[in-house]
A = this chain, B = another copy of it.
Amino acid sequence: MLGSVVEDYLKGIYKLQQEHGRVPTSAVAQRVGVTDASATNMIKRLAELGLARHHPYRGVELTEAGEKVALEVIRHHRLIELYLKEALGYPWDQVDAEAERLEHHISEEFEDRIDAALGHPTVDPHGDPIPSKDGTVDDEYLPRLTDLQPGERAVIRRVSDRDAERLRYLAQLGLYPGVAVYLRERAPFNGPLFVRVGDTEHVLGHDLAATIGVEQRRDAEPAPAER
């Protein structure tokens, strides 16, 4: 057993690594919520454990082993999130916080049982992919709502889970994975987007829209009623 602190670092580094390859110490510190000095310290320990490679003054990378652990933690996290929502009726914006604590304390057995209860799902409530048990994820880049051109249609596939308040707002607007949207117009210079969901139109700030991953649809296709 590794201790939940180590797991949190690994998870944090993994996620940062997704975005920018080698990760600076300060980014890890910020993500995990400790000082830079503490992060340096832990990074050195991770290196000793063979879970990361430390390139002094130039960041960290996970080793194979470290990545494996990170993916296990992420799998736990996302399975738990989905379970909370599906089996216990949690609202969308609360699952992340609860999963955050639980993810470090469940057994293999528990993991297997909720996985089975959910029918071996592949995505969590925010549309994030659930790593498989053997440590593989299909985490390809999705275009954002902001990548669409006016007149284009798409289905929401993924929404960042980093901010509960934002999730509540989006839920209120009916914007979550599986929902079909139509971009009517967009203001220039990263201005707001005018997005239709069914009959209603919403005005979304550019930054908010940029957190929404979508799958583009050909114009002709009727939006499938998923989920």
Q: Which residues of A contact B (CB under 8 A)?
A: 84, 87-90, 94, 97-98, 101-102, 104-107, 109-110, 113-114, 117
Contacts and interface: CB of A to CB of B under 8 A. Distances in A.
A98 B109 CA distance: 9
A107 to B, nearest CB: 6
A94 B104 CA distance: 18
Contacts of A114: 88
Contacts of A113: 88-90
Q: How many copies does the complex hold?
A: 2
Contacts of A102: 102, 105-106
A98 B89 contact: no
Tell me what chain A mostly uses at the interface: helix, strand, loop, or mixed: helix
A102 B84 CA distance: 15
A17 B114 CA distance: 36
A84 to B, nearest CB: 8
A144 B151 CA distance: 76
Contacts of A89: 113
Nearest to A102: B105
A110 B87 contact: no
A117 B105 contact: no
Nearest to A91: B109
A107 B97 CA distance: 10
A192 B117 CA distance: 43
A94 B110 CA distance: 11
A66 to B, nearest CB: 23
A4 to B, nearest CB: 9
A27 B177 CA distance: 54
A39 B147 CA distance: 61
Contacts of A117: 87-88
Which 4 interchain pairs have the tightest Cβ spacing?
A88-B113, A101-B105, A105-B105, A98-B107
A22 to B, nearest CB: 33
A125 to B, nearest CB: 16
Given A88-B113, A101-B105, A102-B105, 12 more contacts: A84-B110, A87-B87, A88-B110, A88-B114, A88-B117, A89-B113, A98-B109, A98-B110, A101-B106, A101-B107, A102-B102, A105-B105
